[in-house]
């Protein structure tokens, strides 16, 4: 059981003269439960866990991204072995991907939890990362190795034979801390995915199939120092992305300093590119005790392309609690250099900004708001349909408000509104999403979710309505779900439209505690064409 610390007031002053203040909130402990993703829609993610657990509505589900635990979603409804929720913006998940559910457990039996802590996606990323330094326990390093291997098959079939495709995917996730009780640790998250009909593309460029999101070796040089070699995302610089090279960090309990020298992954295939040299340094502050914590980091980066400076910028990341049940996360990038028409100038221009706040009124009602002006996400792997891609592209950036309300134990209601207006767009984009879940309906022990999404953008206007039913069988060793979506999209400026009926079924068999087999089938019917997608996944955890 891991102690999850809450936060109290601290003050940070930096180059940008930012002042942060936070107030104390109550402490609590956490317990983790492992599972996997069994179904993914444009609005919800379904996850199944290894066995009975203490997870409740409002707890957080995590995924491992670039070697770090990143929050995936907050549970909106659950059964004995499964949970469903709406993923936080920016998350990319696939069927069979391993997840970790964290349940709030009181530290002492006689203590009462007055209210659950509010959860923000970026708060949990920072809190879970803490520091990259692994400390000794009892004067010795303890080996801890865990991982996952999966084999997947993805087939897309239609009445237009030219569009048929079959894809194979092998995945390895490994976290090896203090190998053989030493100072060395290693981690990797790697996928090998290819189309059976396009093996020539793999032979031409291995990185057309091989995607290495994390592959690094770490050495703990001292109590507060660490050296990392390989591809890794630094938790103090989460939005900078993965770095191929050498990272060093040292400092004291509260202040950290680090230096980085390496290369950016290639933007076209995520492989290694020696032309994209980058280097930088950062300082970070973190303070915590039994009452809480606050974290901030400020970095300077210089990125080159073929030996010439391509970008020079400052990166700021900060998280804290402002009051009980309120959490704030902020990240931004300020460009210091610009090269336009071969004319180089030093600038001070805000080019990326993200802020999110989450407030939990009580265990039944919580609200979060965010503003996202970060660059678009590049997907090197995705199983999203055209409808889901259009929806995500229109809703990730801009201002977003979300409300979840659980008036009764068996009912959860949610509403999400998004607004975006860019200078390049002739009109604004809006999206409204709502859902109603009936959790574990007595008598049939199934969960029903009704959903509706209305989207209006520069390029598409439309709506999506859906119904999904989830139920466990055979002492929860077999889980199943069936769903239907009605899609009506119109494309302004043209006569074209997209009208679809989508039906889907998902089955997951928990063969053993660490071995699972899942099958997902989706059928899409249009006026003239129909499409079938079949996804099979076998996952072994160790």
Nearest to 529 by CA among 507, 508, 498: 498
106, pLDDT greater than 80: no
Return the minimum-mean-pLDDT range out of 200-209, 275-284, 382-391. Answer: 382-391
Task: State which fold the 32-101 domain adopts.
Answer: Thrombin, subunit H (2.40.10)
pTM of the full structure: 0.67
Residue 418: Cβ within 10 Å count: 22
Pick the more confident residue, 210 or 26. Answer: 210
Pick the more confident residue, 510 or 135. Answer: 510
CA distance 23 to 4: 16
39, pLDDT greater than 90: no
Over residues 47-68, the mean pLDDT reads 64
Nearest to 214 by CA among 192, 190, 238: 190
Instruction: List, for residues 339-368, the tens digit of each pLDDT value.
Output: 777 778 888 888 888 888 888 888 789 898
Return the minimum-mean-pLDDT range out of 110-119, 366-375, 386-395. Answer: 110-119
CA distance 26 to 122: 20
Nearest to 298 by CA among 261, 255, 253, 263: 255
Instruction: List, for residues 265-310, the tens digit of each pLDDT value.
Output: 998 888 999 999 999 999 999 887 555 568 888 999 999 999 888 8
Return the minimum-mean-pLDDT range out of 178-182, 289-293, 491-495. Answer: 289-293
Q: Which value, in Å, is the radius of gyration of the alpha carbons in the chain?
A: 23
What is the pLDDT, as a whole number, of residue 394? 58
pLDDT band at 18 (very low <50, low <70, confident <90, very high): very low
Nearest to 355 by CA among 342, 368, 336: 368
Nearest to 327 by CA among 14, 12, 44, 5: 5
pLDDT band at 320 (very low <50, low <70, confident <90, very high): confident
Return the minimum-mean-pLDDT range out of 1-5, 150-154, 238-242. Answer: 1-5
Over residues 227-256, the mean pLDDT reads 88
CA distance 228 to 185: 9
CA distance 500 to 489: 9
Distances from the Cα of 146 to the Cα of 141, 376, 514, 528, 542, angstroms: 16, 33, 12, 48, 6
Over residues 165-190, the mean pLDDT reads 92
CA distance 88 to 299: 25
CA distance 233 to 365: 34
């Amino acid at each position: 059981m891991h102690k999850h610390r809450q936060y109290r007031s601290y003050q940070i002053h930096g180059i940008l003269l930012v002042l942060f203040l936070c107030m104390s909130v109550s402490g609590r402990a956490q317990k983790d439960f492992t599972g996997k993703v069994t179904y993914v829609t444009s609005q919800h993610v379904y996850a199944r866990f290894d066995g009975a657990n203490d997870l409740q509505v409002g707890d957080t589900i995590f995924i491992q991204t670039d070697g770090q635990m990143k929050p995936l979603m907050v549970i909106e409804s659950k059964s004995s072995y499964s949970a469903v929720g709406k993923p936080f913006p920016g998350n990319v998940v696939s069927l069979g991907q391993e997840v970790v559910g964290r349940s709030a457990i009181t530290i002492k039996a006689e203590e009462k939890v007055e209210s659950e802590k509010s959860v923000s996606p970026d708060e949990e990323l920072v809190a879970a990362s803490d520091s990259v330094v692994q400390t000794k326990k009892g004067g010795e390093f303890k080996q801890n190795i865990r991982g996952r291997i999966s084999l997947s098959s993805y087939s897309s079939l239609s009445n237009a034979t030219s569009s048929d495709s079959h894809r194979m995917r092998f995945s390895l996730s490994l976290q090896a801390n203090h190998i053989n009780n030493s100072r060395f640790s290693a981690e990797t998250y790697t996928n090998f995915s290819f189309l059976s009909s396009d093996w020539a593309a793999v032979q031409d460029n291995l990185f057309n199939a091989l995607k290495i999101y994390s592959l690094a070796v770490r050495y703990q040089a001292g109590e507060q120092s660490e050296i990392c070699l390989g591809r890794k995302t630094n938790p103090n610089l989460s939005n900078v992305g993965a770095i191929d090279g050498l990272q060093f960090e040292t400092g004291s309990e509260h202040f950290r300093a680090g230096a980085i020298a390496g290369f950016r992954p290639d933007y076209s295939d995520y492989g290694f590119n020696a032309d994209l040299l980058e280097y930088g340094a950062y300082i970070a502050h973190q303070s915590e005790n039994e009452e809480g914590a606050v974290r901030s980091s400020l970095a300077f980066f210089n990125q080159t392309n073929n030996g010439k400076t391509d970008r020079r910028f400052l990166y700021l990341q900060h998280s804290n609690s402002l009051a009980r049940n309120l959490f704030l996360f902020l990240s931004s990038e300020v460009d210091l250099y610009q090269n336009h028409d071969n004319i180089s100038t030093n600038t001070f221009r805000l080019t990326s900004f993200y802020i999110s706040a989450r407030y939990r009124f009580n265990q039944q009602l919580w609200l979060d708001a965010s503003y996202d002006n970060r660059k678009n996400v590049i997907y090197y792997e995705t199983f999203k349909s055209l409808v889901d891609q259009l929806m995500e592209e229109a809703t990730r950036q801009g201002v977003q408000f979300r409300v979840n309300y659980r008036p009764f134990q068996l009912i959860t209601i949610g509403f999400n509104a998004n607004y975006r207006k860019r200078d390049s767009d002739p009109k604004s984009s809006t999206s409204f999403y709502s859902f109603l879940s009936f959790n574990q309906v007595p008598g049939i022990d199934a969960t029903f979710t009704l959903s509706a999404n209305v989207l209006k953008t520069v390029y598409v206007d439309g709506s999506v309505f859906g119904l999904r039913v989830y139920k466990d069988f055979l002492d929860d060793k077999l889980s199943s779900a069936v769903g239907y979506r009605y899609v009506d999209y119109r494309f302004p400026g043209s006569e074209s439209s997209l009208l679809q009926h989508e039906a889907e079924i998902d089955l997951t068999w928990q063969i053993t505690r660490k071995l699972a087999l899942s099958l997902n089938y989706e059928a899409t019917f249009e006026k003239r064409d129909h499409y079938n997608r079949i996804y099979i996944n076998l996952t072994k955890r160790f």
